[in-house]
Amino acid sequence: MGGAYNNLAVIYIDHLKQYDQAKDLLSAALQRYPNFASAYMNLGVIALNQRDLPEAIRLFSKVLELDPENQLAHYNLAASYINLRDFREALTILDRGISYWPASHRLYLLKGRAFLMIHDLEQARVALEKAYSLAPNDPEVRYRYHQLSAARKQ
C-alpha cells in the first residue's frame, strides 16, 4: 500500500536530498492511500529538515492520529516543538510517547535534552539516567550525560 512510493521517496530524502521529488512521490501516495502514515511521516521529516516547523507539527500530528503509538512520530513531534522552544508541549508529547514505549532510550534522551535547555538539571538528570540505563553504550546518551555533569558543576 504505497510502499513503492514511500521507499523511493526515502531515497530522495536520505541520500539525494531532493525534497521536491520526494514530496511529489509522497503526495501521489497520499492521493491513492490517504491514511498512509509513513507518507505523512516522511513529509514531516522533509518539513523538519527545511525548518518549516508548523508544517512538521501538522504532519507528525497526523501520523499520531493514524498511528497513536508511533514512537518516531512522538520523537519528531517533540523535536519540532523543542525547535519552537515550546518545551511544555514537547515534554507532554514525550511523556505520552514514553507511556507507549517505556524502554525507548531515544525518548528519554530527548526529554533530558529538553530539560537541559530549560536548565532544569534535576529533571534532566532523571531522564538522562533512565536513557543511560536503557542504552549505556549509546554515544549521544553518554555525551548528554557528560554535558549534564558539566552543567551541574557550574
**What is the average pLDDT value for the chain, to the nearest integer?**
88
Query: What local confidence, expressed as pLDDT, does residue 110 receive?
Result: 98
Regarding whether 87 and 12 lie in a shared domain, the answer is yes
Mean pLDDT of 76-105: 98
Confidence grade of residue 1 (pLDDT, cut at 50, 70, 90): very low
Regarding whether 5 and 53 lie in a shared domain, the answer is yes
| CA 28 – CA 25 distance, rounded (Å) | 5
Q: List CB contacts of 139: < 8 A, sequence separation 6 or more.
A: none
Q: How do residues 117-136 score in pLDDT, each as one tens digit?
A: 999 999 999 999 999 999 99
Say what the pTM is: 0.86
| CA 39 – CA 126 distance, rounded (Å) | 35
CA 79 to chain centre: 5
Regarding whether 118 and 97 lie in a shared domain, the answer is no
| CA 34 – CA 27 distance, rounded (Å) | 9
Here the CATH number for the domain that contains residue 86 is: 1.25.40.10
Regarding whether 118 and 92 lie in a shared domain, the answer is no
**Could you list the residue range(s) of the whole structural domain that residue 129 is in?**
103-154
